[in-house]
Amino acid sequence: MSRRHAIDPALFVEQITAHYPHERCHLDWDTTRPWTLLFAVMLSAQCTDARVNRVTPVLFRQFPDLEAYIAQPRELLEQCIHSTGFYRMKARNIHLTAEQLLTQHRGTVPDTMEELTALPGVGRKTANVILWNLYGKNVGFVVDTHVSRIAQRTGLTEQHSPEKIEQDLMRQLPQEAWGEMSHRLVQFGRDTCKAPVPRCSTCFLASSCPKRSVEKSR
């Protein structure tokens, strides 16, 4: 990858960290039931955290343990998560994942990338969120639409697939920062490096960012 038009990775980490010192996962979950984070992340696909946070209190009351996802009708689960979109597919994946957690992991959420991505509907992005937030493990970098966009505009990647963008970020950013940086970047993408029009005029990275593919900014 050409680095001629890329932001300095060390400066990038330093500046983002300075501006977002305490950023965290915005999904609500119950620390006494770790699977609630896994299901909240699964529900957040193609949906906002705010909407998921409105749905999960009802869902986790109706389905208080993993056994409930097996015992109760799938239609009830679909009804509970309907407003998060793609509800049939999500209900199927959550149902099957609950089953696998009970039969293969003694009701716990596994702590390896291999075991997590073997669960129905769990890809690297979800697994990375779980590994960092449940176990403090920096195995990979969470790449969502915000992270992809920022990485491309700052020149940290020229790639378009989440897998390749993740590889570029893992190569350039320090491993101990991966988990926290991904949460910081999501917030930075929400309030400054926005889609489709970034707020470059007030951005703290403006003097060092190449603003790649930015045609219009505020």
Which one among 131, 134, 185, 205 touches ligand SF4, defined by CB under 6 A?
A: 205
Q: What are phi and psi of 120, to 5 degrees?
A: -60, 125
Structure tokens that stand for 182 in this block: 């991904």
Would you count residue 157 as binding ligand SF4 (CB under 6 A)?
no
Diameter of the chain by CA atoms? 57
Q: Give all strands (DSSP E) within 77-169, no chain letters.
A: none
- C-alpha count within 13 angstroms, C-beta hemisphere, residue 208: 14
Count of C-beta atoms within a 10 Å radius of residue 50: 9
User: What's the one-letter identity of residue 196?
Assistant: P
Catalytic pick from 90, 125, 168, 211? Answer: 125
Residue 185 binds ligand SF4 (CB under 6 A): no
Cβ nearer to ligand SF4, comparing 96 with 200: 200
Q: What residues contact 14, with CB distance under 8 A and at least 6 apart?
A: none
Shortest Cβ 200–ligand SF4 spacing (Å): 3
Q: Which is nearer to ligand SF4, 177 or 200 (CB)?
A: 200
**211 touches ligand SF4 by CB under 6 A:** yes
Preceding peptide of 196 cis, ω within 30°: yes
Nearer to ligand SF4, 58 or 197 (CB): 197
Q: What's the min distance (Å) between Cβ of 198 and ligand SF4?
A: 4
We find the least distance from the C-beta atom of residue 163 to ligand SF4, in angstroms, to be 22
Q: Does 199 engage in binding with ligand SF4 (CB under 6 A)?
A: yes
Q: Is 111 a catalytic residue?
A: no
Q: Which of residues 116-155 bind ligand SF4 (CB under 6 A)?
A: 153-154
Q: Which of 49, 65, 111, 144 is catalytic?
A: 144
Which of 88/199 has CB closer to ligand SF4? 199
209 near ligand SF4 (CB under 6 A): yes
Nearest to 125 by CA among 138, 111, 141, 112: 141
Binding status of residue 206 toward ligand SF4 by CB under 6 A = yes
SS (H, E, C) 176-210: HHHHHHHHHHHHHHHHCCCCCCCCHHHCCCCCCCC
Alpha-carbon Rg for the chain in angstroms: 18
Active site residue 90: no
Sign of the alpha-carbon dihedral angle for 96, 38, 84, 192: negative
Residue whose CB is less far from ligand SF4, 138 or 192: 192
Active site residues: 125, 144
Contacts with ligand SF4, residue ranges (CB under 6 A): 153-154, 192-193, 198-200, 203, 205-206, 209, 211, 214, 217
